[in-house]
Structure 1
Amino acid sequence: MTPSHKEIGALGAVEAVGSMNSVEFDIDANIFRAEYDSSRDQPSLAIVAVVAAAANSDPNELSPLHSAIDTGALDDLLSGTATDDQKNVCFSFSYEGFAVTTFSEGTIEVKPMENT
């Protein structure tokens, strides 16, 4: 871990995703980042865990993820069993005041949205 990165301790949300060890905060980029194994854990659960860690919140206090995105389609697209055509997928959406970008290889990046 470099000086510009800070590891956020294993919060309850992160512990719920067995393959996710922690959420890291890149101070310079203002991005929370975590990796997980999509063949073991649901991508939708991992996203909620990262957003909850970034918001320093209990995941049960967040609005349901399905209010922001179709979680069934998300899990199908990003699962470890996705077809070769679905590999190397990246997409972004907003949820709970954060811009969420998720990558098919199991990386999630969460950045606070600017208040305008």
Structure 2
Amino acid sequence: MRRDVFQAIADPTRREILGMIAHKSLNINSVTENFDVSRAAIYKHMKILAECGLLEIKQQGRERYCEGRFEKLNEVSDWIDQYRELWEARFDSLDIYLKELQAKNKKHGRKK
């Protein structure tokens, strides 16, 4: 099964793992200790993150460390940007409309 970055961030546990490794690499035990589920369950989440390209597990001596690879999150940002542009255009149109209404109200208010 091909996984994408959207699947990776869809789960709150995976988002929490990403938050943990955002600033420094952590060994797998350090990551799993922060959750109330089994080590195997957390490792499955880490495997999905690795398949999506957001996490890399590196062997250093006897320890395995998780490092974040956050470049793939640009896909999410690009997807969101298209909707941001749409909503900004709609808000700009609404702003113009409201200013026109205010101008009309001021104009009619002066005639009274």
Q: Which band: TM-score by shorter chain?
A: under 0.3
TM-score (norm 2): 0.27
Q: More strand by proportion, 1 or 2?
A: 1
Q: More helix by proportion, 1 or 2?
A: 2
TM-score (norm 1): 0.27
Larger Rg: 2
